[in-house]
Amino acid sequence: MSPEPVIGVDAGGTKLLAGALTDCTEVHQRVYRRWGGGDTDEVLATMVEAVDEVRAGVPDVSAVGFGIPSLVDAETGVSVSSVHLPLANVPFRELMAHRLGLPVFVDNDVNLAALAEQRLGAAEGARVMVMLTLGTGIGGAIVIGGKVFRGADGAAGELGHMTVDLNGPPCQGNCPNRGCLEVMASGSAIGREGQRVAGEIPHSALGRALVQGVPITGEFVTDLALHGDLEAQEVMALIGNRLGAGLVGIVNALNPDVVVIGGGASRAGELLLDPARRVVAERALRPSRETARIVPAAFGEEAGVVGAALFAREGGRA
């Protein structure tokens, strides 16, 4: 007997992906939205619209799981604070359950992506796994013995806000720090480095795109790199080295079996991961550097949707 359909929603800093799970892992009826600059009501309304669109194509949905880029109070379902969305002190679970008329479960977006990868994906069966998602920012999660490690206040896992350059650029969103891994190695950082190269090398593909008014985003730079553009590949290598510097601290501190790299920027694959692995091999301590496998997310950009749906199916246990 097939399980009842559930909906998973993965909400990032600039985009949202929703879909339904009618079996274990295959996502159906995908809905994609971009957003930015809206207030709390607009963000919540966009989420409701996306869920309604998925429900229109999938009958008998039993529950909805939301992964949001926020510190979430696991007991109350309140979104306590968020670097990238206007979700501070929002009674998220209560509001969305009322608007949707369905049971709602909510957790941090990367916690849920990690749940999917640890249960069924690239870190299946791992004793200690870490996940980083590279997108607008960098999200992190730690899973130990099959359970998300939440820390004293539920705020553990903010690995994107480790300092990797004490005098680096100001971090993004509401973060007060400088030189965080997030500002140095996220998808946004890929775009910024691409913009720099475009200005410095006007005859390059990046430079020509800049002159033509093409937005130099992380996605654009990644596409060029995957199609063999050397300057774009050099940007990916730089970002991969920075990512590796952050991973050295994670590997030394946590001694994980597996580090899973997901999020939109992970599309670059080995162009990003090879440099990161080299830095870890050179700089991390033994035996941790030899134990930790650094791998791409098995579910790719859908890890958050799968994890959110599994979270809903399991009644909010993670």
> pTM to 2 decimals?
0.88
Beta pairing, strands 79-81 & 27-34: unpaired
Looking at residue 162, what is its pLDDT? Answer: 94
What percent of the chain is modeled with pLDDT above 70? Answer: 98
| Each residue's pLDDT tens digit, 191-239 | 999 999 999 999 999 999 999 999 999 999 999 999 999 999 999 999 9
Give the residue-averaged pLDDT of 38-44.
Answer: 88
CB neighbours (10 Å) of residue 269? Answer: 14
Instruction: Please report the sign of the dihedral spanned by the C-alpha atoms of residue 96, residue 97, residue 103, residue 107.
Output: positive
Which ranges of the chain does DSSP label H, i.e. alpha helix? 40-57, 92-100, 109-120, 181-185, 187-200, 205-211, 218-226, 230-254, 270-283, 288-291, 303-313
Ranges of each domain in the chain:
6-113+302-313, 125-297
**b/e map of 114-130 (b: 16 or more CB within 10 Å)?**
bbbbbbbbbbeebebbb
Q: What per-residue string of b and e applies to 209-244 under the rule 16 or more CB within 10 Å gives b?
A: bbeeeeebbbbbbbebbeeebebbbbbbbbbbbbbb
CATH of domain 125-297: 3.30.420.40
Task: For residue 9, give the DSSP letter.
Answer: E
Residues 103, 93: Cα–Cα separation, whole Å = 9
**CA-based Rg of the chain, rounded to a whole angstrom?**
19
Pick the CATH number of 6-113+302-313 from 3.40.190.10, 3.30.420.40, 3.20.20.70, 3.40.630.10: 3.30.420.40
Indicate if 125-297 has the same CATH topology as 6-113+302-313: yes
Residue 283: phi and psi, rounded to 5, are -120, -20
Query: How many angstroms separate the CA atoms of 86 and 133, rounded?
Result: 20
Encoded tokens for 27 = 């996502």
Q: What is the DSSP string of 134-200?
A: ESSSEEEEEEETTEE---SSS-TT-GGGSBS-TT--B-STT---BSBHHHHHSHHHHHHHHHHHHHH
Answer whether residue 38 shows pLDDT above 90.
no
Average pLDDT over the chain, rounded to whole? 92
Tell me the per-residue pLDDT of 62-102, one tens digit each, with 9 for 90 and over: 999 999 988 898 889 999 988 778 889 999 999 999 999 99
